[in-house]
Amino acid sequence: MFGTNVGDSIMSDIEQLSHITLICKNIDKTGEFLKKIFGAIEYYSTEEIIFSVSKEKFFKMGGIWVVVMEGDPVAKTYNHIAFQVDATKFVWLRAEIEKLGLNILEGRKRKAEEGESLYFYDYDNHLFELHSGSLDERIKHYKMCDSLSKL
């Protein structure tokens, strides 16, 4: 179960993230992007058979099940999926993302305690973040800043 405060949630039985589905204009191109940047492993392609609402491919990325389905690209927003990576890999990852011609965003100013981030849009306007920090580190930093502001 996520967190410790489930309150009156009807979803208090969540065990873990099941999967992420991304709608993509070209699932082959997106699949290659996922393999190149995230080391995704392709498990299955429906090819021309439609089981759901369109053709789809199934991947595993860092233990996460990711589905890409054929469809129209989404509008750009700040909704994003973030993956934790080692900060020493940022220069290499940025170069690989640039080679693919993807749109890299300028990140916000951060304190070192928050971790480093690299934001970029894929071919279908999905925003991804590569982040070197953890939830515990972020909360510790925010609480310290909050305590200092009350002095």
Task: Tell me the pTM.
Answer: 0.78
Residues 86 and 112 in one domain: yes
* HSE-CB of 27 using CA atoms within 13 angstroms: 21
Tell me what pLDDT residue 109 has.
73
Tell the residue number behind the tokens 């699949």, with chain if given. Answer: 31
State yes or no: is 56 an active-site residue: yes
Q: Which of 56, 96, 98, 137 is catalytic?
A: 56
Domain shared by 20 and 57, yes or no: yes
pLDDT per position as a tens digit, 45-72: 998 878 778 899 999 998 999 999 999 9
| Residues 45 and 60 placed together within one structural domain of the fold | yes
**Residue 30 maps to a domain:** yes
Q: How far is CA 50 from the centre of its chain?
A: 26
Q: In the structure encoding, which two tokens stand for residue 9, read together?
A: 């949630």
**Mean pLDDT for the stretch of residues 38-50:** 89
* 34 and 46 within one domain: yes
127 lies in which domain range?
Answer: 73-151
- Check residue 69 and give its pLDDT: 93
Q: What is the pLDDT of residues 117-131, one digit of tens each?
A: 889 999 999 999 998
On whether residue 2 sits in a domain, the answer given is no
Q: Are residues 145 and 95 in the same domain?
A: yes
- By the 10 Å C-beta count (0-12 exposed, 13-18 middle, 19+ buried), 60 is classed as middle
CATH number at residue 101: 3.10.180.10
Q: What is the pLDDT of residue 1?
A: 42
How many domains would you assign to the chain?
Answer: 2
User: What pLDDT shows up at residue 151?
Assistant: 63
pLDDT of residue 34: 95
